Amino acid sequence: MRRFPLRIERVHARRLLPAGLLIALGVCMPYLLNVRSFGISRGLSAALSSGDEGGVLLVALKLVLLNALRALPHYLGAFLMSEALRFSWRGRRTSIPNMAIIAATIVLTYRAIHIVHGILYDFGAPAIVVIGELILLRALDYDLGGSWKKPVMLGAFLAAFQLLDVIPLLGALPFGRGETSQDVKLAATVLGADGLLNAVGLLLFAIMLGLVIPLFMLARDENNLREMHALREQNQRIHTQRMLGEVENRTYAEMRHLVHDLKSPLTSMQALVGILKLESEGEGRAQDAEYLGRIENGIERMSSMISELLSADTRAEVCSGELLSTALAQVSELDCAERIAVDDRARDAVVYVNRVLIARALVNLISNAGNAIEGRADGRILVSVGRVDEGEGPKVRFEVSDNGIGIPEADLARIWDSGFTTHGSTGLGMGFVKSAVERSDGAVSIVSRPGSGSRVIFQIPEEVRDEKADDDTLD
């Protein structure tokens, strides 16, 4: 089944709700503002009775203001409605549906006013021109949401073209076909004030357009600046990514040389230890041979760990007990080493990880806990390992907790940021811990209260061995 090529890419709820409210207000405006409440009928009768040309002009301006105020909510709401939705056609952004939304919303609002109030507004040139202006803004993708310029621009534009409705000179054109507008122009003609009304109307029309044009140009410039800023940020991101790539390549090359330089003496040591071990065995010095065997195993582990440094993605099956022993060996020289308690209930659990990264993550957590309890006589650190199964398969749970100073709530929001630290050190930070755990398909979390200590937990999927397959290999 083929998908329809037109899709809604985004719905901006912060604009959609105000748009609906403004349209509803536009439907209700005839209740709130009408010819009677503005005193237009009374003013027109008084002007005709007294022959007051200025009175007719004042009534005409009141009518323009009334029509502009009644139209502004639903015209503004229609534009906001078009801004609230983003469409794409066959994967490419398009504004044609947004233009259709503007026209359809305004037409339907006029229809709703007619149904609710029985008022049939003249859908003449002013309405068509204003709709055209909104469609033009939408076509140019002038996003003015949340800006004061939009209601001011639209209000001035509405007032300008509503002025054309009361200019007698334009009576032959589709302007001022409404009943009240015709009454005003007729009264001006009767009193001989049509020339005055023409002059003042055209002058104010020019002033209103003079206000709209600078706002339109300002909106255009702001949109251009916004696009330039977005392009600059995109270029900056590309440049940063390129620089990071170059740094990573350089670092990788340096790491290869470093690994080679470290492994070369280890290989020599391993060969010498092997010779000494053979001599000890040949001479019957069993204890010396045992010690040399342990040294040989340590050299092999160290060589393996150095090799794993070359690639953070290198992973292997490792017992959690081995990871814990490696981490504890690295923190044995710390001041907090004597305050560490260990609870290992999953020593034989196997995880598929980069042993160097995970061991270093544990060291980092223990070191942070040591900093947290520094200066506290009752300071304690608990390192525990256990198995959990929360329905997503068995996992090995590593936990490092302390009763230290805790972490302020403001710092908890930034605790996983790369390089962030709460004690001013230049260590790897919690960002490294998170990265190391996630590289092993795990997840990490932290709970901390100032003055009560912290608890960091990370879980890594356990490698479950197929016992049946193991049994088959024994046959």
Residue 420 near residue 430, CB atoms below 8 Å: yes
Parallel, antiparallel, or unpaired: how do β-strands 340-344 and 381-389 relate?
parallel
d(CA 120, CA 178): 9
pLDDT at 123: 72
pLDDT at 343: 92
Phi, psi of 285 (to 5 degrees): -90, 80
pLDDT at 208: 84
pLDDT at 249: 65
Residue 374 near residue 339, CB atoms below 8 Å: no
Residue that has been written with the tokens 């020599």 in this structure: 268
Residue 46 near residue 163, CB atoms below 8 Å: no
Average pLDDT estimate for 84-88: 83
Identify which of 332, 337, 331, 270 has the alpha carbon closest to the alpha carbon of residue 297.
270
pLDDT at 460: 93
pLDDT at 425: 44
Beta strands in 48-179 (DSSP E): 85-89, 92-94
Q: Which of the four pLDDT bands, split at 50, 70 and 90, describes residue 444? A: very high
Q: Which of the four pLDDT bands, split at 50, 70 and 90, describes residue 224? A: confident
pLDDT of residue 469 exceeding 60, the answer is: no
pLDDT of residue 471 exceeding 60, the answer is: no
d(CA 10, CA 87): 7
As a dihedral over the C-alpha atoms of residue 149, residue 74, residue 134, residue 99, rounded to 10 degrees, the angle is 130
- The more confident residue out of 41 and 145 is 41
Q: Which residues contact 172 (CB under 8 A, 6 or more apart)?
A: none
The arrangement of strands across the sheet holding 394-402 comes to 340-344, 381-389, 394-402, 453-461, 443-449
pLDDT of residue 473 exceeding 50, the answer is: no
pLDDT at 465: 61
**What percent of the chain has a predicted confidence (pLDDT) above 70?**
85
Q: Hey, how many other C-beta atoms are within 10 angstroms of the C-beta on 457?
A: 17
Tokens of 332: 């044995």
Residue that has been written with the tokens 């193991």 in this structure: 470
d(CA 178, CA 399): 78
pLDDT of residue 261 exceeding 70, the answer is: no
Q: Which of the four pLDDT bands, split at 50, 70 and 90, describes residue 255? A: low
What are the pLDDT digits (tens) for 312-336? Answer: 567 788 899 988 988 888 787 777 8
Q: Which of the four pLDDT bands, split at 50, 70 and 90, describes residue 1? A: very low
Average pLDDT, the chain: 81
Q: Which of the four pLDDT bands, split at 50, 70 and 90, describes residue 155? A: confident
pLDDT at 424: 47
Q: Which of the four pLDDT bands, split at 50, 70 and 90, describes residue 37? A: confident
Per DSSP, what are the bridge partners of residue 11?
85
pLDDT of residue 235 exceeding 60, the answer is: yes
Tokens of 429: 């930070």
What are the pLDDT digits (tens) for 363-396? Answer: 889 988 988 898 888 899 999 999 998 878 899 9
d(CA 426, CA 371): 13
pLDDT at 427: 44
- The more confident residue out of 101 and 473 is 101
pLDDT of residue 143 exceeding 70, the answer is: no
Parallel, antiparallel, or unpaired: how do β-strands 85-89 and 6-11 relate?
antiparallel
Highest mean pLDDT among 132-136, 286-290, 292-296, 360-364 belongs to 360-364
- The more confident residue out of 437 and 243 is 437
First to last CA, the chain: 53
Residue type at position 143: D
Average pLDDT estimate for 39-67: 88
d(CA 423, CA 55): 78
d(CA 2, CA 20): 33
pLDDT of residue 234 exceeding 90, the answer is: no
pLDDT of residue 470 exceeding 50, the answer is: no
What are the pLDDT digits (tens) for 168-185? Answer: 888 777 777 788 888 888
SS3 of 458, please?
strand
pLDDT of residue 299 exceeding 60, the answer is: yes
**What percent of the chain has a predicted confidence (pLDDT) above 90?**
12
Q: Which of the four pLDDT bands, split at 50, 70 and 90, describes residue 341? A: very high
Tell me the HSE value of 107 on the side-chain side, using a 13 A CA sphere. 8
pLDDT at 142: 56
Residue type at position 1: M
Q: Which of the four pLDDT bands, split at 50, 70 and 90, describes residue 428? A: low
pLDDT of residue 90 exceeding 60, the answer is: yes
Point out the least confidently predicted range of 221-230, 339-348, 349-358.
221-230
In Å, what is the CA distance from 200 to each residue of 125, 167, 463?
Answer: 20, 9, 87
